[in-house]
Structure 1
Amino acid sequence: MPRPAHGALGLAFLSTRGLQTVCLLVAMSLSANLISQLINANLAAPSPLVGMLSVVCFAVLYCAITLLLYWDHQLPLLPTAAIDTLFFVALMASAIVVGRPLSYLSCTAAAPAPTVVADGNVYTITGRLLRERAAYAAPVDYAQWVSAGEPGACMQVKAVWGFGIALTIMFVFSAALVGFIWRSMRGGGRAAKSEPA
């Protein structure tokens, strides 16, 4: 089946949706990895990361469905623009909540000093807060966890935050593209109807 012929707007929509899907998959894997690390350390996952993971999972499904519908010439344009706007709002709120403690945090400056594991051969960097609360599954304050955790975890959270910001911009762009495609189709339909008369 041929690709829908919407010119540059259609190509921009397809490329934006593809880029959104890639960014969503990366943000989903980073968030899931961080939550898995916390659960393995017997810590409760922070709600900002769980919220970001939830929004991203729904957005991945939505992007896949809209790509298939667009390719099959069955994408409802106005509802798609509205849902893109809703995902923009959800991702913006998630990015703000995730990034609130990160905006002025330097992951290298916040890193704790290396500590030696009992056998003396393995060096690991573990946060003071994670060591103190590893005995029980307690809710950890998100800002304290980010600043006291491993520098790798801090960098991963910053990457999730960055992907969240990028996704908000891309969802605004895709909503505008879908709106322009709808307007061009609507204008073309009017022109076609007015020509025979």
Structure 2
Amino acid sequence: MQKHGALGATFFIARVIQFCSLIAIIGLTANFIAQIVNNNSTPPGIFIGTITVTCIASIYCLITSILFKDDILPFLICAIADTLVLIAVIVVAVIIGRPLSYLQCEKIAAVADKMSSAYAFATKLDHYLGNLGGQVKYGSLIGASKEVCLEAKSIWGLCIALCIMFFITAVCCACLWKQKKNGGGGSVKGDAV
């Protein structure tokens, strides 16, 4: 890793941040899915999509980190793959954030009863499902309580952070590939493009 200098250190630190953010998103999303399934309901497709994308991305981050530490990471392929993961995370962030961007969690607390998160969620979900027949809609779910709103906004915020981090790692991989292609040194003379 030391032979890659500051670019290599930036790449590796960004990978660690990505992995931690992905694990947090998996945990938060799995909590939503578990509570919905425990009420014999079908979770919204966005949660299934989010957990699918984040699980694949976390495995990818882990594998590329190991390959980078062993100095066998194909940087060009990694730059392309990071760009593809970036696109997937942007899609997830946009879909999750669309209704959340206008929602003010503090106002939900002022209107809703002061109940614990799990109880408020289960109570609102039972009432909501009585009217729908088992299908949970994401837009209605996020307004169930202040805690549910904050948890959903946490997922959204982590997705936005992941967009930034995957952009950084894609750029680092492209630069590391160019550096390796030009002989592995810091700066190569006559490399003005």
TM-score range relative to shorter protein: 0.7 to 0.9
Consecutive unaligned residues in structure 2, runs of 5 or more = 189-193
Note if 1:143 corresponds to 2:142: no
- In the TM superposition, residue 173 of structure 1 has moved relative to its aligned partner by 0.6
User: Which residue identity does 2:156 align to in structure 1?
Assistant: W
What whole-Å deviation, never above 9, does each CA across 1:45-69 have from its counterpart, x for those lacking one? 1111211111000000000000111
Indicate conservation of the 8 Å contact 1:114/1:126, yes or no. Answer: no
In the alignment, which of 95, 101, 104 is matched to residue 103 of structure 1?
A: 101
Match of 1:81 in 2: 79
Paired residues, number: 184
Q: How much identity, in percent, do the aligned residues show?
A: 35
- In the TM superposition, residue 134 of structure 1 has moved relative to its aligned partner by 4.5
What secondary structure does 1:21 align onto? helix
User: Which residue identity does 1:29 align to in structure 2?
Assistant: G
In the alignment, which of 160, 166, 191 is matched to residue 171 of structure 1?
A: 166
After superposition, residues 1-197 of structure 1 pair within 5 angstroms as 3=1, 5-111=3-109, 112-114=111-113, 124-126=119-121, 129-134=124-129, 138-147=134-143, 149-188=144-183
CA pair 10-138 structure 1, distance change in 2 beyond 3 A: same
Indicate conservation of the 8 Å contact 2:93/2:159, yes or no. Answer: yes
User: Which residue identity does 1:25 align to in structure 2?
Assistant: I
CA pair 137-58 structure 1, distance change in 2 beyond 3 A: farther
What secondary structure does 1:125 align onto? helix
- In the TM superposition, residue 188 of structure 1 has moved relative to its aligned partner by 2.1
User: Which residue identity does 1:155 align to in structure 2?
Assistant: L
User: Which residue identity does 1:113 align to in structure 2?
Assistant: A
- In the TM superposition, residue 160 of structure 1 has moved relative to its aligned partner by 0.4
The structure richer in helix per residue is 2
- Distance in 2, matches of 1:137 and 1:103, equals 28
- Distance in 2, matches of 1:47 and 1:126, equals 18
What whole-Å deviation, never above 9, does each CA across 1:94-116 have from its counterpart, x for those lacking one? 01001111001011212453289
Match of 2:191 in 1: none
Of the two, which has the highest radius of gyration?
1
What whole-Å deviation, never above 9, does each CA across 1:122-173 have from its counterpart, x for those lacking one? xx535775232456861122111112x1221111111000000110110011
- Distance in 1, matches of 2:98 and 2:26, equals 19
What whole-Å deviation, never above 9, does each CA across 1:2-44 have from its counterpart, x for those lacking one? x351011011111110111111111111111111111122222
- Distance in 1, matches of 2:134 and 2:114, equals 23
What secondary structure does 1:43 align onto? coil
Match of 1:195 in 2: none
